[in-house]
A and B are shown apart, each in its own frame.
Chain A
Amino acid sequence: MAKADEIRELMRTEGAAVAENTRAFNDGRYESVADLEDYEALKSEARAIKEDAIERLPELIDELEVAVEENGGTVYIADDAADANAYVREVVADRDADRVVKSKSMTSEEIEVNEALESDGVDVVETDLGEWVLQVADEAPSHIVAPAIHKSREAIADLFNERFDPDEPLETAEELTYFAREKLGEQIVDAEVGLTGANFLTADTGTMALVTSEGNARKTVAATDTQITVAGVEKVVPSVEELAPFVELIGRSGTGQDITSYVSLLTPPVETPVVDFDDDETPLSAFDADRDFHLVLIDNGRLAMREDDQLRETLYCIRCSACSNSCANFQHVGGHAFGGETYSGGIATGWEAGIEGLDTAAEFNDLCTGCTRCVNACPVEIDIPWINTVVRDRINREGERPAEWLVDGLTPDAEDEGAPLQKRFFGNFETVAKLGSATAPLSNWLAGTGPSRWLMSRALGIDRRRALPEFERETLVDWFADRDSTVETPERRAVLYPDLYTNHVQVERGKAAVEALEALGVEVVVPEVPSSGRAPLSQGMVATATDHAERVTEALAPYVADGYDVVVVEPSDLAMFTREYDRLVAEDTFETLAENSYEVLEYVYGLLENGADADALASSDGAGVAYHSHCQQRTLGLEAHTVAVLEDRGFDVVTSDVECCGMAGSFGYKRDYYELSMDVGGRLRDQFEADGVRDRPVVASGTSCLEQIDALLERQPRHPVELLVE
């Protein structure tokens, strides 16, 4: 099936259930982390523990092995899935087990241990209710924490009623739960082997932490005499004490619960007696705790990821699902589209690239638009968009030099980086824009004609339903060159960065920015500066983006050295200067630019705070506006400044709370993703067409957002700075 068809089908069949559930988790996360006294410090602590543990991994694995063996258990280190399964099969056969009961484990999904055991005639029963639903339905998980998130209550009821034909048809969530509990309860007490995953393993004592809510993991361990735990090698942390930040963060980050019902801290084999559940004579304590424990630690590509400077961060992942739930695209398609063999959501690109290979990651990696909404949500501060960018770069280059990238890491290399034509077109948008302005209005007229749209669709995969940007004949830089500064004794001096869109397409917002800054006593210059590299970076063309970054920093450095501030209209470009360039240019070069760069309304806010005369700006008498900030702007914590300035000038501001408008640069132009992009945007449209918002003029900070809102609403949106110069 073509990608667009596959996505359309998933949006139709699973989109509603996935959206409802992921948004509930995401809203819960915001609420739950807000209660923490020092959320940011807790994340940094968790991050530091993981960094240290992965750094010292071989040593910690040795320590863990010693501890488990002292406790009376066995450790097996498996190179890959086949190796792990062979060991598990052997243990199950030695125990002569007919049934293995399982608690939820992504690692066991990764190695497909169920199939391996079933081929030996063993009855494998998933006891997590979501996993059990999928086992009955013979479907794959669509979410790493809530595997059946794509199924509605009605769909589960239909499934159970059809499969089990209960006396009374099941209907409510409560009825379904209690039915499953009874059914599984019987099977658990009858099983010989309990198979679990582990969220964390502590090297000091051989203790494992299992984060659950249903109590099935507890029963899986307590009711069987042989416990097998499969876990990736990256799950080891030094000590029990270091579990603390994770226990506080994992539930909040994932499903938005302060803590899940049960965090089992088990040091197996456990002391609970192994009882015969049909015995009506022997008291519980008279049974022995004659238990076996096997810890199967799985490499399966992880130790190579540890050596990979770009993929290493993936190993810090605690599988909380925050990056799935906070992702606008994921909210609309779920893990069946936005996922690989096992893992789903933003971080899945790292896991699948490391475990399965680039081909698997390539199937869904483009669904990460780099909006960065997952960045602040990740409890271990993984730069998930960067991992997606790096893997995209490697996928682009794969044709050139097969498979070397995984081990070599990223070696910037000029040229076209092997990217396919569509990615090269969007990645080199600066060239298109320059040509577009130089030949406007002819270029706009030509681009809009039927044959051109046909060609663009065929050759570049640009959706014909999407309006194209219209280039202005006079760029912002040209306009500025023909005028004189209006400021005689400047309070400050600033470079207004002529980003690609402000310079060539949305020139009016650039003019408004210049006028607003001058009104506040800032001497403004608008020099020719290269485009930021955002466009190539989002296509995974890291070498080209690096080249841009080097030229931009070189062009701006003399101004900064001369005391100029750098003011940026386009938030995605500000994010390049203050976030992404850290990866692309020398540290001091990055820091100098980052420290002196401001989003335009952030800058206005700062000027007003420092005594600039606000009355020099336009004001309103309580006129209503609807404001949509920009995803990357919000990640940088800069939405509030715009709202504060507008309110200060007397506007009545309503803000959207969607994670992303859906456009995300080039994403919404692509034929494969146009419909998804519009579906994501639908939520923003709903918010801006709600009662009390419907008649408000719309302002938005990002270029993409402005284009998307233009497509979604009748009202033509503007940049907020334009409200300040009327």
Chain B
Amino acid sequence: MSGATFSSFERSLGELDVPATRIKREEFTNQVEEAVEPPAVGVPLGETFDEPALSLDGTPVTVDPTPVALREATTGVTGARLGIGDYGTLALSLTDRASELVSLFVEHHVAVVRERDLVDEMRTGIETLGEEFAETRGSAILATGPSATADMGALVKGAHGPRTVEVLVLTEDD
């Protein structure tokens, strides 16, 4: 996927106050460490992407935590199926590895997405998911920035879900 897509993704995320960092695989462990605020939990990323290199071993992240550890955690690390350039949206798949819980029941969500999974437009993203759902009958959340509410008289970031989000984009050139 082109650098142009990353730029638009990064720009859209910037408008949402979501930092996006483009990283190489060999930097992965260090970058994760930098992005998380402990206590941190995560899903087994190596399995999510079917890439052992993306294991969270060696980071301060507790992989596949207990429910109590999840509720006590500040940071949750998950993968994202897609990144959508024009809106800065992440498509977060719902998996049996409890990705939904780890991305939702925390204060700070760190999402890892591969650069090859970036698309320019929302429409393309939804088409991609539509094709996958037709086969897998899966589910995904189109997540754009942190949770928010204006119900209490002013805009507040961090309603029921995370207050902050950070995105790591894995480049392909390694």
Contact = CB atoms under 8 A, between A and B. Distances in A.
Interface of A: 21, 70-71, 127-130, 133, 146, 148, 151-154, 156, 172-174, 176-178, 180-181, 184-185, 188-189, 204-207, 213-216, 218-219, 222, 239-241, 243-244, 247-248, 255, 258-268, 270-273, 275-285, 287, 289
Contacts of A287: 98
Interface in B114-129: 122-123, 126-127, 129
Q: Which 8 A-B pairs have the closest CB atoms?
A: A153-B153, A215-B161, A240-B130, A214-B159, A284-B98, A130-B151, A173-B154, A215-B147
Given A173-B156, A264-B141, 16 more contacts: A71-B137, A156-B152, A174-B152, A204-B134, A206-B137, A214-B149, A218-B141, A241-B126, A247-B122, A261-B144, A262-B161, A264-B142, A272-B98, A275-B101, A280-B68, A289-B96
Contact of B64 (A207, A247, A281, A283): A283
Given A261-B145, A277-B67, A127 B160 contact: yes
A222 B139 CA distance: 12
Contacts of A258: 87, 144
Contact of B142 (A241, A262, A271): A262
A222 B143 contact: no
A176 B142 CA distance: 27
A35 B99 CA distance: 33
B36 interface: no
B43 to A, nearest CB: 8
Given A244-B122, A272-B98, A285-B64, A148 B137 contact: no
Q: Output the residue of A128, A130, A248, A283 with the most chain B CB within 10 A.
A: A283
Given A176-B153, A214-B161, A261 B148 contact: yes
B69 interface: yes
B69 A280 contact: yes
B166 to A, nearest CB: 15
B149 A241 contact: no
Nearest to A72: B137
B145 A153 contact: no
B54 interface: no
Nearest to A213: B148
Given A127-B160, A177-B156, A215-B104, A281 B66 contact: yes
Contact of A271 (B138, B144, B159, B162): B138
Nearest to B72: A280
A271 B96 contact: yes
B161 A239 contact: no
B150 interface: yes
A542 to B, nearest CB: 40
Given A152-B153, A156-B153, A284-B98, A260 B144 contact: yes
A184 B66 CA distance: 21
B147 A174 contact: no
B71 interface: yes
Interface of B: 44, 64-71, 87, 89, 94-102, 104-105, 122-123, 126-127, 129-130, 133-134, 137-156, 158-162
22 contacts: A71-B137, A146-B151, A176-B152, A181-B159, A206-B137, A214-B151, A222-B104, A240-B133, A258-B144, A259-B89, A262-B143, A265-B129, A267-B139, A271-B94, A271-B96, A271-B138, A272-B94, A272-B100, A277-B68, A278-B67, A283-B65, A284-B101
Contacts of A129: 149, 151-152, 159
A273 B66 contact: no
Contacts of B102: 284
Contact of A214 (B64, B127, B134, B160): B160
Contact of B147 (A176, A261, A271): A261
B150 A255 contact: yes
B97 A241 contact: no
Given A213-B148, A284-B64, A267 B96 contact: no
A189 B150 CA distance: 23
Contacts of B104: 215, 218-219, 222
A285 B62 CA distance: 13
A184 B71 contact: no
Contacts of B68: 277-280
A279 B138 CA distance: 27
Q: Which of B44, B104, B134, B147 has the most CB of A within 10 A?
A: B147
Nearest to A208: B139
Contacts of A204: 134
Contact of B133 (A174, A188, A267): A267
A272 to B, nearest CB: 4
A177 B137 CA distance: 35
B126 A284 contact: no
B65 A284 contact: yes
